[in-house]
Amino acid sequence: MIAKTIIQGLLTILLFLACWWGLSKFPWDQWLGQSDSKNALEEKLGEQLWRLYSYNGQELKDEFIVDTVDSLVNALCEANDLPRENFKIHIVDKSEVNAFALPDGHLIINSGLINQVTDHRQLAGVIGHEMGHITQKHVMHRLVREMGLAILVSASTGNSGGMIHDILRHLSSTSFDRDEEREADSQSAQYLDAAGINPIHLADFMYMLSTLNSDMPDALYWISTHPDSQERANNILEEYEDWDKVDQSIIQEETWEKLQSVMP
């Protein structure tokens, strides 16, 4: 009886594997149109969220502004072998000092952030941090964890404006978990290091914002979504205290000053 049971069990497993193997030979990806679309859900969500956010703040499309910020992003991508097309940069006219990542590589940078940073390498650090969230897939992990797959699928259809609004508010005004923030910090520091920028600039920016007083709510926006900034800044400082390379400038000082002067 035992031998017969084992044989039957093995045959059942074999039947399952044979079915799987046979059915895998069908060109499902072509039939379902998935060849060129790696992740339709993420694409749809990213598109819907960006569209909603762009209603609240005008996207700045001035060539000089876009090119200057792009030069920072390009430098980080080139130095770290990151495909540039994976990041969709949007500069938005909003006074809140904030930058955040949306699904499908959309990276929002508010004009308030560009006005607040004192050095373009600080901005590169913040961009690197958000690029870290994108490359490590934190955005989708977090959404699935905190909102559930069913809600995301429903929201991506575009028929539930309330849900997509809630997701956007969640992504732009709440933080990732501590491990994910640390991982994004670490990624950003590595990106800066590879691009020849001292990672301490990111730590400087975190310190600077954490010391601002609470009557500047706009300035405190990024800090409110990135808690424990002083502790995280200390971690970067400790890790890179022996950094002894030449601190590179990605853009010239005059270009940076001009960028800040033309920002709304």
Q: Which residues contact 147 (CB under 8 A, 6 or more apart)?
A: 166, 167, 170
* Nearest alpha-carbon partner for 173 in 129, 218, 214: 218
Other beta carbons within 10 Å of 175: 14
Nearer to other proteins, 37 or 118 (CB): 37
Smallest distance from other proteins to CB 27, Å: 7
Q: Dig out the tokens for 29 from the structure.
A: 């990806």
Rounded Cα distance, 8 and 112, in Å: 68
CB atoms within 10 A of CB 203: 25
Structure tokens at 123: 């901005």
Closest to other proteins by CB, 2 or 246: 2
In whole angstroms, how close is the CB of 13 to other proteins at the nearest point? Answer: 8
What residues make contact with other proteins under the rule CB under 8 A? 1-2, 4-5, 8-9, 11-12, 16, 19-29, 32, 34, 38-39, 41-42, 137, 140-141, 144, 149, 152-153
Cβ proximity to other proteins, 145 vs 169, nearer residue: 145
| Residue 162 CB contacts under 8 Å (≥ 6 apart), including other chains | none
- In the complex with other proteins, which residue's Cβ is closer, 105 or 125? 105
Confirm if 94 and 124 have CB atoms less than 8 A apart: no
**By C-beta, is 28 or 64 nearer to other proteins?**
28
Smallest separation, CB 83 to other proteins (Å):
14
Question: Least distance (Å) from other proteins to the CB of residue 57?
Answer: 27
Q: Least distance from C-beta 97 to other proteins, angstroms?
A: 29
User: Between residues 41 and 192, which has the closer beta carbon with respect to other proteins?
Assistant: 41
For residue 108, the cross-strand partners are 90, 100
Rounded CA gap, 261 and 46, in Å? 31
* Minimum distance, C-beta of residue 71 to other proteins, in the bound complex (Å): 28
Indicate the residue among 39 and 160 with the shorter CB distance to other proteins: 39
Task: State the number of CA atoms in the 13 A half-sphere of 172 facing the CB.
Answer: 22
CA 65 to chain centre: 20
Instruction: Give the integer Cα–Cα distance in Å for 73 and 79.
Output: 10
User: Residue 143 CB, nearest distance to other proteins (Å)?
Assistant: 9
